[in-house]
Copies of this chain bind each other. A is one copy, B any other.
Amino acid sequence: MPAKLLHKPSPSYEELDPVVGALVDEVIGRVADKWTMLILEVLETQGKLRFTRIAEAVPGISQKMLTQTLRQMERDGLVTRTVFPVIPPRVEYELTTIGASLGEAFCGVWQWAEKNLKKIEKSRAKFDQHAMKATKL
């Protein structure tokens, strides 16, 4: 995917436009959510899915959080929610164009996580070990 990305356009957009900067931060804050990322990932790799399928595909998520996160994503225009007027209900979720583009953007982060897992674990172990000596436990 994104092999080599340019660095951020301007040095510090906040400096140039504090208002827009705050808004970007807000969006980042919302989008940089664990469940959002996991759901995004699932919808990206598996395409259109209905509620229960997503629940199964996202380990550890509760029905409440799933509903909540999906609503938020729908509100932000990341996914479409299609309700089929049948009994029992059938609701399908699918990434929008903008949602898919976010998925692509996150792709780099995912690859990073997989690639650097080992290093992180090592770093943690080392850090914790030193912390041991520092404390009198």
Which residues in A have some Cβ–Cβ distance to B below 8 Å?
1-14, 20-25, 27-29, 31-34, 36-38, 41-42, 44-46, 55-62, 74-77, 98, 101-102, 104-114, 116-117, 119-124, 127-128
Given A8-B111, A74-B127, A102-B112, the answer on whether A117 and B23 have CB atoms closer than 8 Å is: yes
* Contacts beyond the supplied A23-B121, A28-B37: 19 A-B pairs with Cβ under 8 Å: A5-B59, A5-B105, A5-B108, A6-B107, A7-B45, A7-B56, A7-B59, A8-B45, A8-B110, A10-B57, A11-B46, A24-B110, A24-B113, A25-B60, A28-B109, A32-B32, A77-B119, A102-B112, A102-B116
Closest residue to A53 on the B side, CB-wise?
B11
A62–B29 CA distance with the chains assembled, in angstroms: 15
